[in-house]
Chains A and B, each alone.
Chain A
Amino acid sequence: MEKSTNNIGVETRGQFLNFSQIRRWPEFGVILAFLILFTIFSIFSSKFLTLRNITGILTIVSELGIMAIGVAFLMIAGEFDLSVSSVYALSGFLFVTLSNSFNSPVAFIITLAIAAFIGFCNGMITLRAHIPSFIATLGMMLFLRGSLLAVTGGESVSYKSDIIMPTILTRFMGYGFRPSHIWFVLLTLLFSLVLTNTRYGNWVFATGGNKEVARAMGVNVNKVKVTNFMLSSLMASLSGCIVISRFNIANASFGTGMELEAIASAVIGGTFLTGGYGTIIGVFFGAFLMGMMRTGLVMIGAPAYWYQTFVGAILIIAATINLKLRRLEM
């Protein structure tokens, strides 16, 4: 079943497209919602459709989106990672502390390695102890956040090192663009290609769809899951390093609640909580929608209280539309 899902997605793009085909795309709902909101904000605010604003939105979206890609990739394999927000905060803190002691490239590599190890632990705890990943990563989230608070005492740490990694990750390049925008787009394309055009992508779909069938097909389900747990942590860590390079400070409170925003981005983008179905392009637009909404509401002068209301409504609508689209496909 999962193979056919993947095949449908590929086949439709190779043929002449009409509306009935386009609406079967898993990304259809989120792209439609994106276009509607984009139109509304552009009408309401004359400054919304400016390069300055679009690049500003991209900055926020890139940081959330990079995390959301990893989260969605794991969700498609049938598992959750709630620890991403703590990995994000921990990575920022490690990156700043290590950079201040050594240099930023070394700090960056060590930080990513530690994040990958956390992902590995998440995977092993989930698979070996047979604890649902929701619980295992919830535990890891609290463990990491608590440890970070205990070590820092809530105090911020300022970045006082070289500009090598900040320049590679997020310093302005010109016209408001930042390298993080490029990283986000490249990672979206890379993960999308892996998911739709490689054997590993098929394994991910199969693992999230039906484990037993996947095993019967010769897929090493556990290996796929552990790899995806590690990728999820790595992406969260990268996102944390990017944010800290932009803010120049790290604090234990960074990223609080971001795991839910990442999951919401993935779900709005068409990824199923049950696994076995999803698209990275959808996640791209899902993250864009989340970031755009906050900025758009501020720009049209709507009270900030509305932000969560809109996110909640869109999440429910998107999940409903996605489910209907999935049924149409079947």
Chain B
Amino acid sequence: MKNNLKIGLLIFLVIFIFSSIFLSSFAAEKEYKIYVVVHGGIADPFWKVCEKGALDAGDLYDDLEVIYTGPAVFKLEEFMAYVEAALASEPDALVCTLTAPEAMDESLRAEIAKGLPVVAINAPDLRDPEDRIPVLTYVGEDSYFIGVKAAQETLARFTPKRAIFANHHPGATHIEARGRGYIDTMKAKGVIAESLDITEDAVKGAEMVAAYLKAHPETDAIFCSNTMRTETIIPRLEADGVKVGVDVKIAQMDSSSKILEYIQEGKVMFTMDQQQYIQGYLGVVFAYLSAKYGYIPPPAPVSTGPAVITADNIPALEDLVKEGYR
């Protein structure tokens, strides 16, 4: 028994160390290494599109290695740990979401001062201009405006009695800014509007929206901040007998095959498209060109949205969604 344990542990050690050395010899060193760190979750269909953009950009250049990472589900502390790990790897450039600029300020500012090119994507630093982290540029949505635009598009179709912004990432400043844009615009038109925290869990989130509608049955407009959440909210509300698209009209962010179906069926009025493929793609291209040639990218914001997708746009988008570009 004792000998078995000793031998087992020794074999374990030897296999691990030799396999490590063996495998590491295959890891061909590329000249430029760029980390792309997003707040996640990386398993979210939305982020798969961004990842494809980043990796496609990496494939453009033979001397470029792109490492894309982030937490499995949104968790700020874990995201920060990935940012720190990426910085500790001493990459040639970093592309990241500025999800919580206050929390990221200290680390990023120090590295930028040392000359690291940093490109922000998807989530901008929304603080006063003089307080912002001095990144090269920002590629992505104008968060507040996207909320304003979603409210305006809704109001152009009907005037809700009560509206909610369903926030799936409480703590993410850009998502909160979207909510503020939506709520401010609704309130300016006299509509009761508020933010509802639907948590990181899509299933729990659907339950929370269902409960909110029971407490406030006059609610007839929802702006949902995430595709996966809309995909769970609609069947959950229908299970309660709510006629989605009639009793409650939904607007939402980004697209997926299912969302396009819902738009065609009239269950989702429209979706705001922030074209996250471009965020990943241009983020990497700008970072690489800066690291290699010292090019300065276009100033922030390099806007990738909002585009509004309605039933009219679906024929052109269906295949692109399936291929992972939209």
Contact = CB atoms under 8 A, between A and B. Distances in A.
A149 B89 CA distance: 36
Contacts, number: 137
B258 to A, nearest CB: 22
A247 B80 contact: yes
Contact of A324 (B5, B13, B100, B195): B5
Contact of A252 (B85, B87, B170): B170
B82 A154 contact: no
Interface stretch (A225-233, A268-276, A297-305): A297-305
Contact of B88 (A43, A44, A50): A50
Interface in B41-86: 42-43, 65, 67, 69-72, 74-78, 80-82, 84-86
Contacts of A254: 76-77, 171
A65 B270 CA distance: 46
Nearest to A251: B171
Contacts of B74: 253
Nearest to B75: A256
A258 B13 CA distance: 30
A153 B88 contact: no
A298 B170 contact: no
Interface stretch (B19-27, B230-238, B280-288): B19-27
Given A36-B16, A254-B171, A304-B71, A156 B100 contact: yes
A320 to B, nearest CB: 11
- Secondary structure of the A contact surface, majority rule: helix
Given A19-B6, A43-B20, A304 B70 contact: yes
Interface residues of B, number: 51
Interface string A253-295: 1111110000000000000000000000000000000010011
Contacts of B20: 39-40, 43-44
B200 interface: yes
Contacts of B17: 39-40, 43
A60 B90 CA distance: 18
Interface in A52-68: 52-53, 56, 59-60, 63
Contacts of B86: 298
A140 to B, nearest CB: 18
Interface string B166-181: 0100110100100000
B2 A20 contact: yes
B197 A153 contact: yes
A324 B2 CA distance: 10
Interface string B1-37: 0100110010011001100110110010000000100
A258 B197 CA distance: 20
A253 B170 contact: yes
A294 B43 contact: no
A-B pairs, 8 with minimum CB distance: A154-B170, A154-B197, A251-B171, A247-B103, A53-B88, A298-B85, A295-B85, A248-B102
